[in-house]
Every structure is written in C-alpha cells, then in structure tokens.
Structure 1
Amino acid sequence: MITRSQNNITKPRNPTDDTILYPIPRALLAAVDSAIIEPTCYTTVVKVPEWRTAMNLEFDALLKNHTWSLVPQSQARNLVGCKWVFRIKRHVDGSVERYKARQIDIHNAFLHGTLSEDVFMSQPPGFTHPQFPTHVCKLQKAIYGLKQAPRAWFSKLSSRLLQLGFCGSRSDSSLFILKHDSFTMYVLIYVDDIIITCSKAMAIDDLLHQLSSDFAMKDLGKLNFFLGIEVLENATGVILSQQHYILDILKRTNMQDAKPVSSPIASSTSLTAYEGPSFPDHTLYRSTVGALQYLSLTRPDIAFAINKLSQFMHAPTLLH
C-alpha cells in the first residue's frame, strides 16, 4: 500500500478567515437527516399524513389541468401502467423544506405539454374513480414519465418566449435572449428550472407577469440555489458552491471521516489500467466519478484528477 507521505500528499492548511409519475422534485443533492428518507412503497406512504397530503395536492392539480378523461378500457390501446414516485424537496442547507408533490418555478410544468397521439394509462393507485373503477385514463395533456413529456413542455414554453420577442441562442438551445434598446434579458431553461437575468428589474417583473397568464408560476426570488449549486453574493462578485453536494458524495461513499489532502492527486502518480486488485463495486466507482465530474464545475482544481480516473471506468482497481 502506498501511503500519502510516500505520494507527496500533505494535509491542507486550515483557512484563516397510469405510467403516472407524480414525482416530487428530485431531492437536492445535500447532506440530509438520515432519519427522513424517501419512500418507495405506496402502501407505506399512504399511512403517512404528509405524503397523503402531497398526493392529494398533485392529484388535484392533474384534475384541474384536465390532464385526462376516463374512458372504457375497451377503447385503450397499449395501456401504460401507473405508479407514484416520491422525492423530498429540501432547503439549501439540506433540511426538509416540506413534503410536496411538485414545487418548481412553473407549477406542474410537464402537464402543459400537448400530445399529438392517443395515450392511455391506468388510474393512479389510491385514486380510482368509485363509479368507474374499470375505466382507464385517456391523456389530454403530457404527464410525468412519458418520453415525449419533456419535449412537449419545452416546445410549449419556447414557443411562448419566441412570441414575446426572444431569440434562441445558436450556441445553447436552452438559452433565450431578448435585446431591447435599454436592456438585454437572458432566460436559461433546464427542464422546469428557469433562471432570468436582466439589467433592468422592471423588465423581469413584466416577463413574469406575461408568463403567469399562461402558466401557474412561483417566483422563487433571488437566485441562491440551482441544480445543486449554491449561489452566494459578496462585495466582489458571485461565488458558486457545492458544499452540500460534496457532503452527499462523502456520505454515499462512507468517507465522512476521511482526512482532507491538499491535492486530489500527486504530480508523480502514474495510473495504468489493470494495476492492482479489481475494485469490488464497479457501479459505485462509475457513479462516484460521474458525481465528481459534475462537482468539477465549481471545483476546477479536481478536473485533471477526475478526467484521469474516468479513463478506467471499464475496469477500476483499488489503486484507482
């Protein structure tokens, strides 16, 4: 075994200063209270008042949106199954924000997409219509879990932005730009998470007002958390941090008590394929390297080491 001292790795100095997927948004990757876990079984969830309330809210939103109509099962072709998917929405610090079936910038975003084909699905567990228990749902709108749902939603939102005068970026299809004599506005879309930035605050308010006539929206206010990245402002600019994402990686790899080092890899280290005993869990290795690649967005100092380790995804060893 090669020790850290032999590898010229030192400890850093301390700083001085139907299928119906009714998913709750993906839990933000953060250090979490291990006592509060995401359930996977409907029969267990239905006994918990908070989850039952979340399901009721989501089901009511689906009905309000006229997502489906009940039809006899004889009309159904290629019936799609149905299940609930449960996630916990959390604060930036990892604590539970609340049990919610969906909480996003635009409420129930995928339900706004329009389908161009007939899709039938079974009624959701726990919400079978008492008068029509054998009927199935004929979808009028897109719904979570359908392969075409993300595209249908993006088409709906992007069409509306183009109507408002935005132009799509040539370099990024998720970026829309509005140029005006007195300001320039940028809208960045990642599925149903949206960032709006502009030099004129009133212009943002006007855009939100126009979009709210088409979509049920929630203004989350000042940007402070996006896709697992914390956004912190100070006197000199903006800091992007993934502290809680790091803590989650450490927890998943059982390295909470590992000692920190000043460099992710020693300059003298030479890694080769098939060197050393095989790593027992190839899936864990690959998922960890993938998570660290995302972390390198805000920690470029680890990029070289992670890119090096990604060369051995097919056959990782204990040395890797």
Structure 2
Amino acid sequence: HPPEQVISVINERVTRNSKTSAKELMGVSHYACYTSLLEPKNAKEAVKDECWILAMQEELEQFARNNVWELVPEPFSGNVIGTKWIFKNKTDEFGDVTQNKVRLVAQGYTQTQGIDFDETFAPVARLKSVCIFLTIACLMKFIIYQMDVKSAFLNEILHEEAYVKQPEGFKDPKNPNHVYRLKKALYGLKQAPRAWYELLTMYLLKKGLKRGGVDQTFIAHRTNEDLLAVQIYVDNIIFGSTSKKLVNHFVKLMSSEFEMSLVGELSYFLGLQVKQGKDSIFLHQGKYAKNLVK
C-alpha cells in the first residue's frame, strides 16, 4: 500500500515492497526490503535463495513466539503427520511481487477422523457477501480497509493429541528422529479453520461486537450515530466505518490480541482489484485477464 493509505504498521520488519524509488526510500525506507521474483517448487530450491531462507526462518519464528509445538521422541503409538513447505509470491493489484510468503503446513490428508480430529466445519464468506459489504460501504460513503492476521491458525490451542514430522531443511541436528507435539493448530490440519474462526469470533463478541444472523462471517458494531462493519475471510479481514475513531479502535483491538501485517485501504481481495472513489467503488480483474493471455 502507498504510505498515505497506511493507518497502522503492526510489525514493520515483515512489510515488503519490491518497487521503491530512491526518493521514496528517504521517507518510507522502513516499508521496503528485497523480494525474490521466483517461486521455488520445494525446500531444496528455496534454501538456495536468501530471500526464501529468511521467509522460512520468519515462519518458524512465528511458531516459537506462539509456542506452537515442542520437540519430543516419536510416540510408540499414534499417527505422525508429515509437513510440507508451501512457497507463494504475494502480489499487489498490478501483479508486482510484494512479499515472499512461506507456510509450513501439515499434510492433513493423513489424519483419521475421530482420532486426529472431530469437527472441521468453519463458515467462509461468499463472494456475494463481499459484494454486499462493498455496496454498504459505497452507500454509506466510508473507506474499506484490509488487514491480515499473521499465521492465524497458530493462535488457537489444539485440544487433540497430534504429532508432526520435523520440517525439511530445519531438522534438529541433535535429535533428527524426534517429532513435534503440537500445542496449537497448524495450517493443513483438518480442524484448523474451525478452531481459528471460533477463537476470532469469540474474542470479538467478548469485546462487544455482534455477529450476523444469516452471514456469520459478518461482524458489526453500532453506536447511536455510526457503524463499524467487518467481513472475515479466514485470516483476511476487510472492515470500514462511518467513524475514523471506530476504525482506529478496531485496529487497536485486533493488534492487541493478534500479530498483524500491514493495515491499509482495500485494493485487492479474493482476486478482485478494488478502486475506491468518493462516491463509488470500481471492481475489475485486470490482473487475472493479463495472466490468462500470458
């Protein structure tokens, strides 16, 4: 996001911008760092690129900060779930790479229902719901912002007993045959989306916000004169209000409980490029169309 659109930088060191002029660096150097344009197919390719190594280390640092797991001897009984590195370049509405995003995920397809997990269902916002949200914002003439929760699934305590293999390229040299016992949910686990949704919504409800009756991914807070509207799509959240004070309050509310990435005006969401005007919101898929004709 351009600096003038930024209303909060929760964790400056993870914010990346691959295209910044020398003049811009004078004022916003803390927003920028280098990124790789290539997407590795596996960990062996990734460890040859310093940018991706840093991204992988950053992911594991998130695990440590959230106390996600502990290294233990492999249990005699029980399923040990495999792990896999996922590499993806995050782009802006123009298709420029803004972040090298890494996820260490559990190979959840090896889980057994009733043993490794119970319930898995979690509501997800439909595209129609997002369009209705944009319509409300346009009619009420407020700016829509977006925020990402960093490693959202790592926040929820895991109630089931689960073990995963050590990640490729980062095995403990002293205990290479040990496994990790999970304390919190991991991306790829069958129960992870539900656990995250329940954690987030329960937190917001305790803070006085209300959940939609029909669309349970819609959260709102109304005062006598103003409205705060929030739409949840897993770890991506869009929100807006008729009051800037309520916007800042929501940002503070989220950042006090979860680690967030850059918060700024909505420009790209669910494959849609969004251009906000004073009295209108323009949606298009120019980036998608360009990729089709490549």
TM-score higher than 0.5? yes
Runs of 4+ in structure 1 deviating by more than 3 angstroms, as ranges, are: none
Residue 71 (structure 1) aligns with = 72
2:19 matched residue in structure 1: none
Counterpart position of 1:86: 87
Partner AA of 1:89 in structure 2: K
Hey, what's the Cα distance between the residues in 2 that align with 1:236 and 1:200? 17
Q: Which residue of 2 aligns with 1:155?
A: 198
- Structure 2 contact 92–98 (Cα < 8 Å) conserved: yes
Percent identical residues: 35
State the alpha-carbon separation in 1 of the partners of residues 232 and 225 from structure 2. 23
Displacement of 1:130 = 2.0
Out of 108, 112, 124, which is 2:151 matched to?
108
Q: What's the offset of the Cα at 1:75?
A: 5.2
CA distance in 1, matches of 2:158, 2:87: 25
- Note if contact 1:179-1:185 (Cα within 8 Å) is conserved in structure 2: yes
Could you say if the C-alpha distance between residues 137 and 243 of structure 1 is closer, same or farther in structure 2, counting changes exceeding 3 Å? same
Per-residue displacement from partner, 1:1-60 (whole Å, max 9, x unpaired)?
A: xxxxxxxxxxxxxxxxxxxxxxxxxxxxxxxxxx94422222122111111111111111
Q: Which residue of 2 aligns with 1:240?
A: 283
Between stretches 229-238 and 120-129, larger displacement belongs to 229-238
In structure 2, the residue matched to 1:38 is: 39
Q: Which structure has more RCO (C-alpha within 8 Å, separation ≥ 6)?
A: 2
Secondary structure of the equivalent of 1:84? strand
Paired residue type of 2:232: I
Task: State the match for 1:135 in structure 2.
Answer: 178
Relative distance call for 1:76 and 1:110 in structure 2 (3 A) is: farther
Shift of 1:250: 3.1
Q: Partner residue of 1:173? A: 216
Counting matched residue pairs gives 216
Alignment CA distance shift 1:212-1:75 (3 Å): farther
1:52 aligns with 2:95: no
Which residues of structure 2 form unaligned runs of 5+?
1-35, 104-146
Partner of 2:117: none
Structure (1 or 2) with the greater strand fraction = 2
Query: Structure 1 residue 74: deviation in Å?
Result: 2.6
Larger radius of gyration: 1
**Corresponding position of 2:229:** 186
Quote the RMSD (CA, aligned, Å). Answer: 1.8
Rounded Cα–Cα distance in structure 1 between residues aligned with 2:59 and 2:155: 14
CA–CA distance in 2 between the matches of 1:236 and 1:198? 15
Q: Judging changes above 3 Å, is the alpha-carbon distance between structure 1 residues 165 and 235 closer, same or farther for their aligned structure 2 residues?
A: closer
SS in 2 for 1:188: strand
Q: 1:86, 1:101 within 8 Å by CA — same for their partners in 2?
A: yes
Aligned to 2:244: 201
Name the SS of the counterpart of 2:41 in structure 1: coil
CA contact (8 A) 2:82 2:165 kept: yes
Instruction: Indicate conservation of the 8 Å contact 1:112/1:153, yes or no.
Output: yes
Counting only pairs closer than 5 Å after superposition, residues 208-219 of structure 1 correspond to structure 2 as 208-219=251-262
TM-score scaled by structure 1? 0.64
2:165 to 106, 122, 133: 122
- Which AA in structure 2 matches 1:118? E
| CA distance in 2: counterparts of 1:211 and 1:95, whole angstroms | 28
- CA drift at 1:188: 0.2
